[in-house]
Structure 1
Amino acid sequence: MSQGLRGTEQAIGPSARTTSVPRQHETSVPRSAGTASPYDVARWCAGNSWPVHPLAPGRKTPAANCPTCRHEPHSPQDCPCHSAGRWCHGFHAATTNPALLEAWWRSRPALGVAVSCGPAGLVVLDIDAHSAEVPDRNRLLPGIPIHESVNLAGLASGFDTLALLAALRSQRSPADDDSTLRVRTPSGGLHVWYRTPPEGPRYRSSVGSSPKVALAWQVDVRSTGGYIVTPATRTSAGTYTPVGAARLPAALPDWLAAELQRTGHEVNQQPGQVPPPRPGSLRPARKRAHRLLEPLLDQVKDCAAVPEGTAFTEKLNRAAYTAGGLIASGHLTNSQAHDLLTAAADAARPHRSRHSLAVITSALTAGASQPLHLKGRP
């Protein structure tokens, strides 16, 4: 496909030069990939100061919580299991403690390994290659309109959109960055790892299909409030395989940091927390709307206590449907609803952001057809 490029402008137009977009990234894979044990991988990560937590054997989701956490929902941040050395609540339990790593992986050698990206100071680009309908050209690169004269034939994946963004900035695509750790996923995607300065900004996680915060279509960002599957981890779908020679993350490129800032990825709040509204800033009916929605959001967040079997989708759907009705009646803004719902969903299921977004979008639309009127003026 062809694409127009202007290095300093916020548009892609007909006067720009042309470059090719790779349909698929091709790099040799070391023969030794996949031979390290999960315990060895966990120790290697901890040696790099990256907190790790276990994944369920053969899967890319967190290991199951203890019986107490499964049956008595509570906040992951306040869970006593962490001080007791248990792995409950996924990335909230991530650690570099050698004694815990040995206890976890010696007792359950088949557990997979994941890194909690925020505390590790990492930004990982998760480039998808899934088959999906290509959206309108103005949704491919948020905030960057693409001129109608640009031929997008052949654009099919996150490899293409990331290459397009990089070319616009006169940079090499991160998918081709052989100076940093890159990991091929079993589905054909690619994880590109970068480290951030200790005193630098923190970045929020996002999914490429989000209408609010996204870097590029089919390119997810894993950082604060998210985790990433480590290289050499094996799932039922295959092995996460290092690509090329680099085995450590390079520094986050300045141009990519600027793009993350431009697209709203900088964050100053703690991961998994929904900022409560200031009481004095809401009108009485607005306060009642939040009081109605808060218990439903709490039910969604409580699903963090158990990786599966909590009716997460049903609870998120109920909360979003209610929020849609509140939006339609003027008690809540669309932006407020999206922020509250997304934060609650990400706190409970950070690895299912795409699914959560689809549920939220659908339920908000459905709920908006049934305005929910509260007593008093909106």
Structure 2
Amino acid sequence: MSKHKLRIGVLFGGKSSEHDVSLVSARSVMAAIDQSRFDVVPIGIDRDGHWLLGGDPMLQLTAGEYASPLSPEQLTLSDAAQRVDFAFLAGETALELAAGAPSPIAPQVDIIFPVLHGPMGEDGTVQGLLDLVNIPYVGCGVLASAVGMDKLMCKAVLAAHNLPQAPYVGLLRQRWEREPEAVLAWLEAQLPYPMFVKPANMGSSVGISKVHDRAGLAEGLTIAARYDRKLVVEQGLDAREIELSVLGNDDPVVSMPGEVVPGNEFYDYAAKYLLDNSQLLIPAPMPPALQQEAQDLARAAYLALDGAGLARVDLLLERGTNRLFINELNTMPGFTSISMYPKLWEASGLTYRELIERLLELALARHADRQRNVTTR
């Protein structure tokens, strides 16, 4: 880590339906950063995609309900954050897309921690922007972020690496809307009930339905089609939900596995964020050999996507057979102090604050490695 006091831009909010989850994660991250070692610059993105710079973006994005956990002197300005199309600086690199003259409050930052969940933040879009202006950032790069967000593309990559997955099919929203009866008959011929219906590009279980008959399947497809043009339908397995945290760049390490025991029929949005009826078991009650198999599978999936920094890998452990299947990878998982990703590392011996500092170190190392690439012939 650099000897000078780094300025960390914590980026949160965004246009995704996971906007609110991002705010909760970001508040937790900002509160945990060691302020004796780092300066924190909060940067908000509202639901329309405008950037909020200076002042207290958290206060604005929560309509005054929650203030930033930072002290007033740490905020760029004491008044309301300025709403711009986009503007910030890193060292001598600048990108200014705000209307009119350059913003006087464009914050100087050394590194960005993009605590963004879902599309337009976790999907490679923001990562590509940061690459363009040569700013180090925490987490996966453009490729891994984009593939991890798109469930169909991720499944194709995992299949190419011969990694186990539950049977699935994909289809376009346009096809469902054009020929619904034919689609229902086709899906029933491909997969048995129950099925899970999902938008391909979404997280936090938004838009996901577990369906048991044709009427439920039709409703599930209609719900998923509200969120994305690509839809995924998976065979529902009688399985336990196992999660593992991966940390690192080219030589990642994997935490002990944890288990989610959902309070609802499955671990949907309400069970994750609205109800207090689910359990997190750490470590997951599994024999040592099966734990090692889960860790090996999570590491293989992470490397298949060329992950960097962090990801949470979600597995399904089929009851009766004890077969493991990869469900999905989350390249910027929920990051509150009680979220599964940091809790698994805490149980593995790494505190929440230490985890954040390790992620910053990994981001700077990844960026330094990229700077070795020549750009001329």
TM-score > 0.5, shorter chain as reference? no
TM-score normalised over the length of structure 2: 0.26
Structure with the larger strand share: 2
